[in-house]
Chain A
Amino acid sequence: MGIDMKKTKFYEVHKKFGAKIVDFAGYQMPVQYSSIIDEHKTVRTTVGVFDVSHMGEVFVRGKEALQFVQHITTNDAGKLVDGRVQYSAMCYEDGGIVDDLLVYKISDEEYLLVVNASNKDKDFQWMKKNNKFDVELFDESDEYSLLAVQGPQAMKVIQKITSEPIENLEYYHFLKTKVADVEMILSRTGYTGELGYELYFKGDESIAEKVWNTVFEAGEEFDIKPTGLGARDSLRLEMGYCLYGNDIDQSTNPLEAGLGWITKLKKGEFIGRDALLKVKEEGIKRKLVPITTDEKAFPRHGYEITLNGNKIGNVTSGTVSPILNKPIALGYVQKDYALEGNTVNFMIREKEIPAVIVKLPFVVK
């Protein structure tokens, strides 16, 4: 175990709940409490709670906050109004992806960028290096705890512990309010495909435990459960959401990753735009596609995708869907073959397993 592994402010709570702890992105994080499949089903049917405090929170403050965000991200932050959230990406000059992220518009002069734990130091350096604007950047990752309360009962749970009416808080909107008597950013976002909220708040272990306990007391009538990173991964994969390091990275561009919808080439200048315009003009060479099979097989990251004995791509994420009870995967496939309905093969331990390209999401909500 690495001696430099960080702990979130919920570490002792996780141990109390019997979590299996793993090293992830420099943190000791709960991968599961009881069973990944049970936790997955909890989020799809009732409500589960994830500690995702390892995520990075960078605040952009200053007169040219919008200009900075527009320069560094691919989506059009100019469309945001106060209280709105946007899924976006940061690219290198060559169009490769630095990270995917959420952009929160707090005010004209303040934005919050929420980035992946595994990338946060790299991202912050990248932001500082590319800051030619009248803004200051603040990495407040260590100060913020982040809980994701996800599942069909999530609204009822949160409504019980805040006086703010949240019924009309729409998807990808947020509020600054008190929940469990603690000031926080209450955001209707998540990585599961379910109704859910993400709670960003500051404070020490005692504040963190107070929020956790209040959420669990409110959720008791709905059989609320703690849910780990294992279920978080299978939940996001059922929806086809990309995971940085698996499905997207420095060697992939957003257009081939199916993230054209967050790549606004017409919004004006941003880092990577020229390269991406060229990709668009020439056409992508490969495409990230959802693939499934009726065979009993487990496609995993890195496995080859073949057709007629030839390699045509690689699996980037795979699991067995706890809801469909069948294997699901994302993988890059050469453009010519990347069509819905096409049959391909997973290469699993030197055996070709017939599979078919489908469309997202795997699990329709």
Chain B
Amino acid sequence: MIPNELKYTKDHEWIKVDGNTGIIGVTDYAQGELGDVVFVDIAEDLAEIKSGEAFGTIEAVKTVSDLYAPCDGKVIEVNTSLADDPQKINSDPYGEGWLIKIELTDTSQLDLLLDAEGYKAQIGE
């Protein structure tokens, strides 16, 4: 499941862009590889993210994984509902399992991301 309208990082994050705001999450492939997610650790007061840098971690039963920013941005909202129900990332990775909402500071960075075809190739599907 790789929606066409999203952009992807090679680290398995997706971003959905609308004007200069973006919603970020992890891909269906990533949640499948991680297995049951038990905690998402993103600082509640996270203000900014920088392209390629970790902005939090995701703890699954089997492993822990860093979350990488697809681009620069100011954080507008963190999905705090994940604190009570982190498995939304497993059940609805492109919907209710979203992680953060940002205001993009440099939309040209989007050109560096993978499109659906590119991501498909990346994960070997």
Chain A residues proximal to chain B, CB less than 8 Å: 20, 31-32, 35-37, 230, 234, 296-298, 300, 319-320, 349
The listed residue (B35, B39, B41, B83) touching A36 by CB distance below 8 A is B35
Against A, the Cβ 8 Å flags (1 = close, 0 = not) of B52-91 are: 0000010101101000000000000000000100010010
Query: Contacts A36-B61, A37-B61, A230-B62; is A320 near B38 (CB within 8 Å)?
Result: yes
The reply to whether A36 and B36 contact each other, CB–CB distance below 8 Å, is: yes
Q: Which residue of A lies closest to B90 (CB)?
A: A35
The listed residue (A230, A297, A300, A349) touching B35 by CB distance below 8 A is A230
B110 to chain A minimum Cβ distance, whole angstroms, is 30
CA–CA, A6 to B35, complex, Å?
Answer: 24
B123 to chain A minimum Cβ distance, whole angstroms, is 15
Query: Contacts A297-B39, A320-B38; is A234 near B57 (CB within 8 Å)?
Result: no
Cβ contacts under 8 Å, B90 to chain A: 35
The reply to whether A35 and B38 contact each other, CB–CB distance below 8 Å, is: no
Cβ contacts under 8 Å, B35 to chain A: 20, 32, 35-36, 230
Cβ contacts under 8 Å, A32 to chain B: 35
B24 to chain A minimum Cβ distance, whole angstroms, is 20
Cβ contacts under 8 Å, A298 to chain B: 38-39, 59, 64
B8 to chain A minimum Cβ distance, whole angstroms, is 23
Cβ contacts under 8 Å, B59 to chain A: 298, 320
Cβ contacts under 8 Å, B38 to chain A: 298, 320
Q: Identify 22 residue pairs between A and B in the complex whose beta-carbon atoms are under 8 Å apart, listed by A's number.
A: A20-B35, A31-B62, A32-B35, A35-B36, A36-B35, A36-B36, A37-B36, A37-B61, A230-B35, A230-B61, A230-B62, A234-B61, A296-B39, A296-B41, A296-B83, A297-B39, A298-B39, A298-B59, A298-B64, A300-B64, A320-B38, A320-B61
CA–CA, A230 to B38, complex, Å?
Answer: 14
CA–CA, A35 to B90, complex, Å?
Answer: 10
The reply to whether B64 and A319 contact each other, CB–CB distance below 8 Å, is: no
Cβ contacts under 8 Å, B41 to chain A: 296
A292 to chain B minimum Cβ distance, whole angstroms, is 14
The reply to whether A36 and B64 contact each other, CB–CB distance below 8 Å, is: no
CA–CA, A347 to B42, complex, Å?
Answer: 18
CA–CA, A296 to B64, complex, Å?
Answer: 13
Cβ contacts under 8 Å, A35 to chain B: 35-36, 90
Q: Which residue of B lies closest to A321 (CB)?
A: B38
Residue among B61, B83, B87, B90 having the largest count of chain A Cβ atoms under 10 Å = B61
Q: Which residue of A lies closest to B32 (CB)?
A: A20
Cβ contacts under 8 Å, A234 to chain B: 61
Query: Contacts A35-B90, A296-B83; is A319 near B39 (CB within 8 Å)?
Result: no
The reply to whether A320 and B62 contact each other, CB–CB distance below 8 Å, is: no
CA–CA, A31 to B64, complex, Å?
Answer: 17
B34 to chain A minimum Cβ distance, whole angstroms, is 11
CA–CA, A20 to B35, complex, Å?
Answer: 10
The listed residue (A296, A297, A319, A349) touching B61 by CB distance below 8 A is A319
Cβ contacts under 8 Å, B87 to chain A: 37
Q: Which residues of chain B from 27 to 50 have a CB within 8 Å of any chain A CB?
A: 35-36, 38-39, 41
- With A230-B61, A296-B41, A349-B57 known, 7 other A-B pairs at CB within 8 A are A31-B62, A35-B35, A36-B61, A230-B35, A297-B39, A300-B64, A320-B59
A318 to chain B minimum Cβ distance, whole angstroms, is 11
A87 to chain B minimum Cβ distance, whole angstroms, is 26
Q: Which residue of A lies closest to B64 (CB)?
A: A298
Residue among A32, A230, A296, A319 having the largest count of chain B Cβ atoms under 10 Å = A296
Q: Which residue of A lies closest to B63 (CB)?
A: A300
B68 to chain A minimum Cβ distance, whole angstroms, is 15
CA–CA, A320 to B35, complex, Å?
Answer: 13
CA–CA, A35 to B14, complex, Å?
Answer: 23
CA–CA, A234 to B61, complex, Å?
Answer: 9
Cβ contacts under 8 Å, A296 to chain B: 39, 41, 83
Q: Which residue of B lies closest to A39 (CB)?
A: B36
Cβ contacts under 8 Å, B62 to chain A: 31, 36, 230
CA–CA, A36 to B34, complex, Å?
Answer: 11
Q: Which residue of B lies closest to A325 (CB)?
A: B38
Cβ contacts under 8 Å, A36 to chain B: 35-36, 61-62
